[in-house]
Amino acid sequence: MEFTAKQIADFLQGEVEGNPDVKVNNFAKIEEGKPGTLAFLSNPKYTHYIYDTKADIVLVNADFKAGKEIKATLIRVANSYEALAKLLELVEKSKPTKVGIEPMSYIAPTAKMGKEVYVAGFAYVGENVVVGDNSKIFPHVFIGEDVVIGNNVTLYSGVKIYAGCKIGDNSIIHAGAVVGSDGFGFAPQADGSYHKIPQMGNVVIEKDVEIGANTVIDRAVMDSTIIKEGVKLDNLIQIAHNVEIGKHTVIASQSGVSGSTKIGENCVFGGQVGLAGHLKIGNEVKIGAQSGIGKSQKDGSEIIGTPAIPIRDWYKSSVIFARLPEMYREIAQLKKEINELKDENSK
């Protein structure tokens, strides 16, 4: 599909600067732009690429000021990154979608399937499952009994949804993710062995949630592990039993949340963040990558490190860390000089 700069600007409610009739049929990074492609400029670090890019159209923020002539046609918008996301979404929605039940899939007689549902071959849909309209179930997905799946849900290949879990409308779960596996609950015995504690709860995922590939969310011991509306979980994340994650919180790859920890709304966690159990993390908390969190955090906290400390203190400390070898040598030299003075005074 081809679109002119004017058509794109009209859709984005932006302003064309250059040739309104130039056409594009693909996207490109600004540093790798080619004729017939659309690029975008959001990060100021990439500004120098805009003067030489071969892309025919570049999305820029409305307040962008060029330092010299630009060959590409510009489309000025309020936020170029958000505008790009809208265009990508438009293209994605224009692609043909699969509908229907493929041979070699299994759907239990008691399952209820909505309208325009797609179930691929080798998928398994268990007893009393409810699948909403326009949902898509790809190959090798397992859906246990009594699972409820909302409308417009996408379950990619190899997703496993254990019995009794609930998936909200418009949610996306990527390949290999597991929802509802047993929580890590074992009671120590007098002989040193461990007795498994039955995990009787479920997982509730609210609407507009996206879960990355190979992420695991454990079912609750009792009640529910809850992932609230709009949460975005990256690949390779572990969410333990009875955890709650508040609305629109974002967690990056390889992070882990221990049992019964409650995370507030609009939080942002970097990669490889680890949270101990039974903590309460407030709203709008930001945690830097590879941080270890051992205590609860107030609303709006910005922390990093292991153990985590306020981010400004960590930056100051990192300057000192870098100087430790030099400081050690200085202390050793001072110690040597003091000992020499002591020897002279003792004579």
Residues belonging to the active site: 241
Nearest to 4 by CA among 96, 78, 90, 73: 73
Q: What is the DSSP string of 51-92?
A: GT---SEEEEETT---SS---SEEEEES-HHHHHHHHHHHHH
Rounded Cα gap, residues 196 and 185, in angstroms:
6
Tokens representing 73 are 């046609």
List C-alpha distances in Å: 197 to 4, 25, 83, 90, 146. Answer: 62, 56, 49, 48, 22
How many Cβ atoms from other residues are within 10 Å of residue 156's Cβ? Answer: 19
Distance, in Å, from the CA atom of 308 to the CA atom of 273, rounded to the nearest integer, reads: 10
Place of tokens 């325009």: 116
